[in-house]
Structure 1
Amino acid sequence: MPAAIILAAGLGTRMRSALPKALHPVAGRPMLNHLIAACEPVFDRIVVVVGPGMPALEAAARPHATVVQAERLGTGHAAAQAAPLLADYPGDVAVLYADNPLIPTATLRRLLARRQEAGLALLAMRPADPARYGRVVTDAEGDVLRVVEWADAGEAERAIGLCNAGVVCAPAADLFRWLAAVRAENAKGEYYLPDVVGLAVAEGRRVVAEEAAEADLAGANSRAELAGLEGLMQARLRGAVMEGGATLVAPETVFLSWDTALGQDVTVGPHVVFGPGVTVEDGVEIRPFSHLESCLVRRGAIIGPYARLRPGTEVGEGAHVGNFVELKAALLGPGAKANHLSYLGDATVGAGSNIGAGTITCNYDGVNKHRTEIGAGAFIGSDSALVAPVRIGDRALVAAGSVITEDVPDDAMGIARGRQAVKPGRGFKGKGK
């Protein structure tokens, strides 16, 4: 029954943001919540260490417990703040970092398995550019002797390619005993979590390193590094949807959310963006430059190009949403079509109806939102304004250019526009020639 401590108290000063670093999103989800999701299948208990005055971070961590690191004195000090909740825990405790959101659940399982071979296990990697990572020093058998922070490392230690990812795992009683013994005797005057490695070795405990891919252990301390995480996550998400049977015509131009669900035989054109909460059923075509968020697209529909589906929208089976059409909190029934330059907000459109170019539902009166109901088989002529609340009946016709303020019954035609006047002899008479 292992537990996890997630360190999330960092301000992320290099982000230059009022938002706590752990709440910066990757693929539409805060970094902290990505890591929590990876931990939940593995750990029976999760404690998140936050800084003072971070209510949004505490809310994001729920329902998991949080503790406050009142003074930011280093990673070892931060982990020790969980002692009141976990010092007597009967199992292993792993310490992780909220700004490492890409760690897969499988990697955490491997870490826990390796811990059974030794008194302490840590995650390590061999990055292409070791840069300023802490180095993992091992003996001839590959067991870990110590971890040296780059600032404190000598030339020979900086030449080591095996780098510390910061994640450690040990029995709770041992981990908190070692944390209490950590001293701030380093260049920064901070309490370093990796110092528990040396303390474990000094007690004669075996320490092992579980190696993982650099991409799985990537972190973010700046906006540029956050963009790097986004790129890595997008590559994962694109690979997953294509493996599941969707076609991405130009994968590098499609941006997915962490929860985007694409069915089989879905085709996504270039430059399509998915916000959170999108489900697309089988056989849908999403044409280029469309934007979808918090919506459901039923089987066989066609979306775009240049369409926008906003939250609360459902596009029915076989329906068409064309270029420069925006739907918000709208239900477009099976086989219905809105192909050109229209806005349908807070609306229900019945099966098989046709919405002409330039149609808008006037859903907001400046104070409240109102709904427009369009029946099955209706035809809305081009450049019509439907002033909600209003109902257009089944098989009804709205004449082009109408401003409809009253209900139109089933099988009726509604027309509301100024009468045309023709003035003979008042046309253009070749002016300027």
Structure 2
Amino acid sequence: MTRSCLAVVLAAGDGTRMKSSKSKVLHPVGNLPMIAHVVGAAQAAAVDALAVVVGRDSDAVAEAANSAVPVSTHMQKERLGTAHAVLAARDDIAKGYDDLLVLFGDTPLVSPQTLKQARASLADGADVVVIGFRPDNPHGYGRLIEEHGELLAIREHRDASEEERKITFCNGGMMAVSGRLALELLDAVENDNAKGEYYLTDIVGIARSRGGRVIAIEASAEEVLGVDTRVGLARVEALWQAAKRHDLMTAGVSMTAPETVFLSHDTLIEADAMIEPNVVFGPGVTIASGAIIKSFSHLEGATVAKGCTVGPFARLRPGADLQDKAKVGNFCEVKNAVLGTGAKVNHLTYVGDADIGAGSNIGAGTVTCNYDGFNKHRTIIGEGAFIGSNSSLVAPVEIGSQAYVASGSVITGNVEGDSLAFGRAQQVNKQGLGRKLRERLQADKQRRQKDET
């Protein structure tokens, strides 16, 4: 029989050490709020429902915790300890789930595998499962005291004996609790301590005193790493990026300097794509096999098909759709535009709100003038068209297939297929006027210099 599971995510902390105008769980890792990473791990661990305990920025936190499984939010009006925070979700806990996971909204690196292992331990008969880890330096962490495979106690560093401080297995904070015992154990927690708070860790001793079985499982130190400061956020970001790069390269993606490539939570790159140094992927990017993303390019909300080349120094903005073997070169920007198969936008060009036909060539310095100050308009260019350098295409406008636009043109009307369009003033040469202009400008400069002295 499949076991049911509720995950309670604690996300009510003020996060004052972040020195931020928003809740710390809303700060992103891989361009996704930290709490969304935690929710995603819980969902991948097959939970049936999520209860998010909120405080500051409750509406924004609830929105960030959106999930494919039902999500409820519970306001924690007072901060009286972790057990008190969990009990804010009492109504959901009381529904009688088989398993209860207690997670933290500021630990974005927790893995579904660890949560699944915790649930499996409950299925094997444990009443409480504590998720522990082994830090490089255990100083300051609560130690997990074990004997014969069971967890006897969680001893805070300040209370531990010299012998206990030699233990390197430490409390990571997250737990799994038998659903049938959860409320009974939580309600038994008292606040007889210096801070007058209700500590979740006390349920270990309470469960054992009642004959329950308590065990600890081990997670990596990265998984339980919480974020309290901007420094901690940067550390977690670096760990997340390194893991994401590793996964992509293991799957067949080439990166010549992986430490300089920055990815998003939803970045999709197929095998045999090449990513050169100093590339940034914003949300919503898909790169197909055989594509090359050259150095110093920035992509967001873009689709790059097989065999395409992007960059160097290119920017693909949301809605950029490059079809097979299209090319976007150096210092080009593409936004909300489709580049057909083999189309080329090579140099110093802006293509926005446009459809570029297969095999077309867009010359250097071309601009699709898509905005009139109030509304956006579309430029449509047919297959095999050639747009000369330094052309301005004033949308809405259509350039037919195989048409030519002469360099330096300002095109305000449609151009039929196979036509040649000139949209520039006629050149006029005035013999000797250049010399007269130069003499006048030189005299003006000398006059100004004399007046300044």
Normalising by structure 2, report the TM-score. 0.91
Give the letter aligned to residue 189 of structure 1: G
Kindly indicate whether the alpha-carbon contact (under 8 Å) linking 2:341 and 2:358 is maintained by their aligned counterparts in 1. yes
In structure 2, the residue matched to 1:119 is 127
CA drift of 1:185 comes to 2.6
Greater CA deviation, 129-138 or 237-246? Answer: 129-138
Give the letter aligned to residue 289 of structure 1: F
Which of residues 55, 61, 67 in structure 1 aligns to 2:59? Answer: 55
Does 1:295 pair with 2:302?
yes
Matches within 5 A, 1:10-29: 10-29=13-32
- Identity value in percent: 48
Greater CA deviation, 417-426 or 235-244? Answer: 417-426
Distance 2:274 2:38 in 1: 30
Task: Number of aligned residue pairs: give it.
Answer: 431
Matches within 5 A, 1:61-76: 61-62=65-66, 63-76=70-83
In structure 1, the residue matched to 2:450 is none
Q: Against the structure 1 CA distance between its residues 90 and 64, is the aligned structure 2 distance closer, same or farther, given a 3 Å change threshold?
A: closer
SS of equivalent to 2:303: strand
Which of residues 86, 90, 108 in structure 1 aligns to 2:93? Answer: 86
For residues 199-241 of structure 1, give each alpha carbon's deviation from its aligned partner in whole angstroms, at most 9, with x where no partner exists. 1122121210001111122221111111111111111110111
Give the letter aligned to residue 135 of structure 2: P
Q: Against the structure 1 CA distance between its residues 400 and 217, is the aligned structure 2 distance closer, same or farther, given a 3 Å change threshold?
A: same
Does 1:192 pair with 2:196?
no
SS of equivalent to 2:223: helix
Does 1:409 pair with 2:416?
yes
In structure 2, the residue matched to 1:261 is 268
Give the letter aligned to residue 15 of structure 1: M
Does 1:110 pair with 2:117?
yes
Which of residues 15, 20, 38 in structure 1 aligns to 2:41? Answer: 38
Which of residues 305, 309, 317 in structure 1 aligns to 2:316? Answer: 309
SS of equivalent to 2:374: coil
Greater CA deviation, 156-165 or 285-294? Answer: 156-165
Kindly indicate whether the alpha-carbon contact (under 8 Å) linking 1:151 and 1:187 is maintained by their aligned counterparts in 2. no
Greater CA deviation, 97-106 or 51-60? Answer: 51-60
Greater CA deviation, 351-360 or 421-430? Answer: 421-430
Give the letter aligned to residue 417 of structure 2: D
Distance 2:76 2:306 in 1: 50
Kindly indicate whether the alpha-carbon contact (under 8 Å) linking 1:310 and 1:328 is maintained by their aligned counterparts in 2. yes
Unaligned runs of 5+ in 1: none
CA drift of 1:273 comes to 0.6
Give the letter aligned to residue 12 of structure 1: G
CA drift of 1:36 comes to 1.1
Greater CA deviation, 381-390 or 150-159? Answer: 150-159
In structure 2, the residue matched to 1:275 is 282
Kindly indicate whether the alpha-carbon contact (under 8 Å) linking 1:88 and 1:173 is maintained by their aligned counterparts in 2. no
SS of equivalent to 2:433: coil
In structure 1, the residue matched to 2:186 is 179
CA drift of 1:109 comes to 1.1
CA drift of 1:134 comes to 2.2
Greater CA deviation, 191-200 or 298-307? Answer: 191-200
In structure 2, the residue matched to 1:346 is 353
Matches within 5 A, 1:120-269: 120-139=128-147, 141-150=148-157, 153=160, 156-269=163-276
Distance 1:66 1:252 in 2: 38
Distance 2:415 2:187 in 1: 77
Question: Which structure has the bigger radius of gyration?
Answer: 2
Greater CA deviation, 342-351 or 86-95? Answer: 86-95
CA drift of 1:416 comes to 1.4
Greater CA deviation, 130-139 or 237-246? Answer: 130-139
Which of residues 296, 318, 325 in structure 1 aligns to 2:332? Answer: 325
CA drift of 1:327 comes to 0.4
Distance 2:339 2:324 in 1: 9
Greater CA deviation, 290-299 or 45-54? Answer: 45-54
Q: Against the structure 1 CA distance between its residues 131 and 227, is the aligned structure 2 distance closer, same or farther, given a 3 Å change threshold?
A: farther
Kindly indicate whether the alpha-carbon contact (under 8 Å) linking 2:173 and 2:224 is maintained by their aligned counterparts in 1. no
Root-mean-square deviation (CA), in Å? Answer: 1.7
Give the letter aligned to residue 122 of structure 1: V
CA drift of 1:425 comes to 2.3
Kindly indicate whether the alpha-carbon contact (under 8 Å) linking 1:387 and 1:405 is maintained by their aligned counterparts in 2. yes
Q: Against the structure 1 CA distance between its residues 324 and 408, is the aligned structure 2 distance closer, same or farther, given a 3 Å change threshold?
A: same
Greater CA deviation, 296-305 or 66-75? Answer: 66-75
In structure 2, the residue matched to 1:3 is 6
